Amino acid sequence: MEPMLEGLALLADPFNIFLIFVGVFVGVMVGALPGLSSPMAVALLLPFTITLEPVPAIAMMAALYCAGTFGGSITAILINAPGAPPAAATALDGYPMAKRGEAGRALGLAAVSSISGGIFSLVIFLLAAPTLAKVALSFRPPEYFALAVFALSMLASISGKSSLRNLIAGAVGVLIGTMGIHLTTGVERFTFDLPELTEGIEFVPVLIGLFAVAELLKQSQTLNVAYERVTSVVIRLPSREDLRKVRGTILRSSGIGTFIGILPAEGATVAAIMGYNEARRWSKNKDEFGTGTPEGIAGPEAANNAATGGAMVPTLALGIPGSATTAIILAALIMHGFRPGPFLMKETPEFVYAIFGAMLVANFMFLAIGLAGAKIFSRITLIPRALLWPIVFTFSMIGSYALGNSIFDVWVTLVAGIIGFLMLRHGFGTAPLVMGLILGKLVEESLSQSMIMFDNNWLKFFESPIVVLFFALTLLGLFWPAGVRVHAMISARSGRRAGDANTAK
């Protein structure tokens, strides 16, 4: 109880509360702008937090993460243009409801569902993270290697057009992570005689390039896209009847979102899609989905915001990012001198509780800001992209240079941006590459240490039940997407045969 009180006391400073408010405001604004995203905003914010103390820096980033997930629902409902990928499922029923004159009702449902999912996941975070960290204290290098490999296998089911492309992108990230001097042997790898690469490549310039510059280049191809806007917006909270209809959906989707968030490398987008699908599957009015049903809004919104709290569990307790945004927060923790993982929970529990408090405050703040300013935030989409994106590019360059006052980092950002753009253009997700980059060092170091422990006998990996469990989960993670596709093909073929047989009769 004492660490919790200390953490909340750290957060109670008026300056920290102000920064949380700034994070929420920026998060909702960024989420509402189609093309901008929470990972991009957090990546751009990262270099500017160097001068801040760790608590306000991470608190502001965590607040932005929570608010950015909700902000995307505003434009998804009002202009059918999801400001963030997790809000794509919300648009399926939110926009039809808005078009029939119930935009305020749709926004109210989205806000209440979001805060419900967020608070649910934070309670799980509060209970699960310390317990998971205690278990992780018994982990040795073999267990950490197996855990990191399992996390990489989960890349098969996140953003991008195919599981294979995601795994390739993750492998490239791991390869980039091996640049520099190998800590165990002292051998230099892939440095190309550049002194800047002897300690490896910096996370932050790569993150800014992949999330900001790459998206800038992608959005430059859609400068003339026009959106149809719903202009009559009078915000109102859900009625008792609406709450009665969606309470089961909110509870179910909150559980789904939290679970998906806890899984390494998964995130809010996957959670939102699953939340929507499950809401439809359990609904008594399946045919109403897609026409503006309250359950179709509550399901994805509760799930995608629950995923934010869930994603912080492996990030803080194990040092394994739960999503693309938490991968950046993980980099921020390292930059501020912390060791994410069980030792963070053991040595500085008050810091973890401060992050929990920041996310809790952020949820209530974005409820107020979102309801009061939804109409204003919907109008920021009127900002000409020809003006918006040069501003983003300028901040990208300033941020990448400010980290180490090095022009080399600026070049890294530009190269990473071009690579990210080419990846997006050919169906490769940038998030898997970031995950691979973050996890690459852990995979390599834990493998080297394990082989030294086992005297190069790799069969000793299988003497640990935890290692065997993670390896089994890895195989499941790799082959599950393929199994789902095969099952869908078999079901479709069976359906066609049954249809042909009925026609023949």
Q: Cα separations (Å) of 312 from 60, 308, 330? A: 14, 7, 9
Are the C-beta atoms of 253 and 298 separated by less than 8 Å?
A: yes
Tokens of 160: 């991008």
Residue 381's pLDDT is what? 58
Of 173, 155, 172, the C-alpha closest to 164 is 155
Tokens of 229: 């806007």
Are the C-beta atoms of 141 and 446 separated by less than 8 Å?
A: yes
pLDDT means per 10 residues, the chain with 505 residues, are 75 87 85 73 82 87 85 76 72 84 82 88 82 78 86 68 78 85 78 80 81 77 56 64 86 88 72 83 82 87 87 83 82 82 80 86 80 63 68 80 80 89 83 81 86 87 88 80 66 66 60
Helix (H) / strand (E) containing 187? none
Rounded-to-integer distance, Cα 262 and Cα 312, Å? 7
Write the single-letter amino acid at 312.
M
Calculate the CA 234 to chain-centre distance: 31
Rounded-to-integer distance, Cα 330 and Cα 441, Å? 13
SS3 content of the chain, % helix, strand, coil (to 5): 80, 0, 20
Residue 488's pLDDT is what? 66
- DSSP states of 216-262: HHHHGGGTT------------PPPHHHHHHHHHHHHHHHHHHHHHHH
How many Cα neighbours within 13 Å face the side chain of 29? 13
Rounded-to-integer distance, Cα 151 and Cα 174, Å? 12
Q: What count of residues does the chain have? A: 505
Tokens of 86: 């997790």
Rounded-to-integer distance, Cα 304 and Cα 111, Å? 12
Rounded-to-integer distance, Cα 120 and Cα 271, Å? 14
Write the single-letter amino acid at 214.
A
Write the single-letter amino acid at 103.
A
Residue 234's pLDDT is what? 53
Residue 45's pLDDT is what? 84
Residue 378's pLDDT is what? 59
Residue 317's pLDDT is what? 82
Q: Cα separations (Å) of 290 from 78, 111, 410, 420? A: 15, 19, 45, 33
Tokens of 221: 């191809």
Residue 385's pLDDT is what? 66
| Sequence-distant (≥ 6) Cβ neighbours of residue 405 within 8 angstroms | none
Tokens of 149: 């490999």
Write the single-letter amino acid at 334.
I
Q: Where are the alpha helices (DSSP H) in 283-348?
A: 294-317, 324-335, 342-347
Write the single-letter amino acid at 120.
F
Are the C-beta atoms of 406 and 399 separated by less than 8 Å?
A: no
Residue 312's pLDDT is what? 85
Q: Cα separations (Å) of 288 from 92, 193, 259, 285? A: 11, 63, 27, 6
Structural domain boundaries in the chain: 2-463
Of 177, 191, 446, the C-alpha closest to 331 is 177
How many Cα neighbours within 13 Å face the side chain of 40? 28
Of 426, 305, 438, 435, the C-alpha closest to 370 is 305
Facing residues of 439 across strands? none
Rounded-to-integer distance, Cα 21 and Cα 366, Å? 9
Angle at 423 between CA 422 and CA 428, to 5 degrees: 155
Q: Cα separations (Å) of 426 from 197, 231, 423, 485? A: 28, 36, 5, 21
